Amino acid sequence: MSKVVVISIAGETGLWVADLDAGTVKPLDPPKSGGLKAVADLRSTGVTVAKGVNVAVVVKSAKDAFAGHYDG
């Protein structure tokens, strides 16, 4: 199973790559072709795309997440 996720938050323009094994999150250059470009293009029109993710929530801070809070 992959442990790398491409993410972004509504209202933000960039994409990020979270490597769960490495414990890193890095900005992703805008894709120029392929399936990820198609997803990025859809996202720019307001479409939400999710594949292989079973939980994704926005929190105000990491402290809130570690305390069990989320913006629901």
Render pLDDT for 51-72 as a digit per residue (tens, 0 to 9).
Answer: 999 998 888 899 999 999 877 6
Q: What is the side-by-side strand order in the sheet with 4-7?
A: 4-7, 15-19, 24-28
In this prediction, residue 4 carries a pLDDT of 94
Domain residues for 11?
Answer: 4-66
DSSP secondary structure string for all residues of the chain: ---EEEE--TT---EEEEETTTTEEEEEPPP-SHHHHHHHHHHHTT----SS-S-----S-HHHHHTT----
* pLDDT tens-place string over residues 1-47: 679 999 999 888 899 999 999 999 999 999 999 999 999 999 989 99
In this predicted structure, what is the pLDDT of residue 72? Answer: 61
Domain count, the chain: 1
Q: Judge whether 27 lies within some domain.
A: yes
Structure pTM?
Answer: 0.82
Evaluate whether 66 touches 60 at the Cβ level (below 8 Å).
Answer: no
Inside any domain, residue 72? no
The pLDDT assigned to 70 comes to 79
